[in-house]
Structure 1
């Protein structure tokens, strides 16, 4: 049986807001996340998804 954590627990573990975790789950960016009766359940071993707002391949030429 898989061990799950709530979105609140994931937010604390990943040091982000609850709303941000819920948004990641809704956008299917958290692997294995389940929505059961309006509660997001996330596998314990899931790693925090990369922030899509940050582009790591941009080089700044000044």
Structure 2
């Protein structure tokens, strides 16, 4: 399984790498692991829905 950093995923998902780190800390991204100070995410990880909106569906 290939893993990507928060910076690489942030380019794909169009959100900041800091926000991705927060989502990982909250446990909202399946398969995310922490190596030292860096989060690694599976390349096929799904972007979680934005919790600020009630009718927001899961993003791809």
- Scaled by the length of structure 2, the TM-score of the pair is 0.88
Give per-residue Cα distances to partners, 1:6-38, cap 9 Å, x unaligned: 011111110001110000000000000000011
SS at match of 2:39: strand
Q: For 2:33 and 2:48, locate their aligned partners in 1 and report how far apart those are by CA, in whole Å.
A: 16
1:47 to partner: Cα distance: 1.1
Unmatched 5+ residue regions in structure 1? 58-62
Unmatched 5+ residue regions in structure 2? none
CA radius of gyration, larger in:
1
Stretches (4+) displaced over 2 A: none
Instruction: Figure out how many residues of one structure are paired with residues of the other and give that number.
Output: 56
> What is the RMSD computed on CA atoms of the aligned residues?
1.2
Where does residue 44 of structure 2 map in the other structure?
Answer: 45
